[in-house]
Amino acid sequence: MKKIVALFCLVSFLSPASLFAFDWKNHDLSHLVVVTNRDADELTIIDMTKDEVIGKQKVAMNSQAHMTAFSPDGKKLAIAATANNKVAVLDLSNNELKEITVGSGPEHMDISKDNRWLYVGNIEGGTVSAIDLDQNREVARLKGFLEPHGATILSSGNKVYIPNRGAQLVGMINNADHFSTNDIQVGSLAGLASFGSDKAGAAMHRERSIPTRGVANVTLTQDEKFAYIATGDANSVTVLDTATDQIIRTIPVGLDPWRAYASPDGKYMVVPNNGDQTISVIDAQSHSLVATLPGGTDMTGVNFGNNKGYVVSRGSSTVFVYDFSKLLKIGQLDMGKGARLETASTSPAGTKVYVASSSDNSLYVIDVESDRVKQIKDVGNFPWGVSIFKGQNYCH
């Protein structure tokens, strides 16, 4: 009888519910790093005070989760279950998980500052899902987008910008009057091409198997007065006045710009150009190009800390380091042959940068004061994204 009881206890202890239900409410959220593992049905949680794995969180089976996002109040964690066409919303107070069916291929998302709305781009289906987080349900599925690559919500909550990876277009959603939509032409042909002609151009690219490099992200300046929109095929960055949605400037940059990243001090917008392996630095006040710096191959993101910039190069498994006070490249951190860097997040205090490496199931931690690197191994199968509550988060 004792053996049966012992075996029951062991099975209970090793059950999926025990292994994968992280006790969120008994941890300080500001000390946690969440790793999204694309090829595993789990998230990995790391304590950033020790830089050690402290738990796992189960997600939907075969979900190929793309990214996670914390609500601004830290009460919920949203998970884009890309392969299952769902967004899972985890209540961090009781560990209850609500799965919400959305469009095809949900990837990138944003949550409004009032914690009410979540918008996710369903990149394969050409739709955007508006989810009411108070009710945990999709209340609208908006059509007419070309590979919607996420969402950027203004602090007011009344306006949402949708990047179209498949076109030189940004969709604008106004949820103050039942989710009305509008399209904004960006790039070098701004003001000349129509939505219809751009759709036709995108269709021609697909028929000829030519990838369209449209808009990957809409990045707001720190004061939210302007939106910076890098357009890959146009080799330019469009500056949009968010009050009027009027284009005030189009800035030529390098070849195939990925997206803009705002420096914490609000001074610069930094744009990696993967076509010619350069970094464009734009003054966010004058909206003018002030420097073009050497970069790397397949750059996936830019992080900031200690007045420095850290540019992740997936192609070379390297993080390039820049001094933005002098507008100079000052070094590089090589992670080794076994690494394949994806994206990163910066701690809220700006003291550490956490970089996911998919090929060796690791997380690399950069101390921004010394630029020393620590490897955390076995963080899950194919770590793809990193999220920190109130950290600098992004995805690719």
DSSP 214-278: -EEEEEE-TTSSEEEEEETTTTEEEEEETTTTEEEEEEE-SSSB---EE-TTSSEEEEEETTTTE
Amino acid 18: pLDDT: 39
- The confidence score (pLDDT) of residue 15 equals 36
pLDDT (mean) for 317-340: 95
Task: Kindly report the length of the chain.
Answer: 396
Widest pairwise Cα distance in the chain: 81
Q: What's the pLDDT score for residue 177?
A: 59
pLDDT tens per residue across span 190-224:
433 334 444 444 444 444 445 678 999 999 999 99
Q: What is the pLDDT of residue 191?
A: 34
Task: Quote the pLDDT of residue 60.
Answer: 83
Q: Which of 319, 313, 281 is nearest to 300 (CA)?
A: 313
Q: Contact 165/146 with Cβ under 8 angstroms?
A: yes
Q: Which of 322, 264, 312 is nearest to 290 (CA)?
A: 322
348, 388 contact by CB (below 8 A) = yes
